[in-house]
Amino acid sequence: MSRFDLSPPTPAQREALAAGLSPDERRVLLQHGTEAPFCGVFLDNKREGTYCCRLCGLPLFRSGAKFDSGTGWPSFFAPYDEAHVRRIRDTSHGMVRTEIVCARCGSHLGHVFPDGPPPTYERHCLNSVSLAFVDAGQPQPDPLQRGGAEAGPA
């Protein structure tokens, strides 16, 4: 069970959060788009910390689970907490894939594939614009002002 409040933002909160997104962030997070490969700000990020949802701040992936997949997008072998990432069957583009979205706000993150490294053998392939990064030891973002675990260090 997650120590974070996973209840979705209210419509007013969601609207306020979405107002702060750039057009590219809006296209990816809210309209299930994809950023171009090899251009995301977090592709080569080597700092220790936590990758969070760009919209609602929920922790999604730890830097210790990041690996270089060679695909052009930040890749992780395991989420911060399985409860924080929801998997959805995606049949767009004439293929079957598994889309991953933020379990709290439903923002599009990317896709998960069964070709990652041990121990999970999964590759969570993320759009950098879907993410915010919190350096280790810094407080988690709390854009929904819920306090609790959200206010603690990453």
How many of the other CB atoms lie within 10 Å of CB of 14? Answer: 18
Domains of the chain (ranges; CATH) run: 11-143 (2.170.150.20)
pLDDT in tens, 5-27: 999 999 999 999 999 999 999 99
Q: Using CA atoms of 117, 104, 4, 12 in order, give the dihedral in degrees to the nearest 10.
A: 150
Specify whether 125 is catalytic: yes
Q: What is the sign, positive or negative, of the torsion defined by CA atoms of 117, 88, 34, 52?
A: negative
pLDDT in tens, 32-83: 999 999 999 999 999 999 999 999 999 999 999 999 999 999 999 999 999 9
Catalytic residue among 55, 109, 125, 134: 125
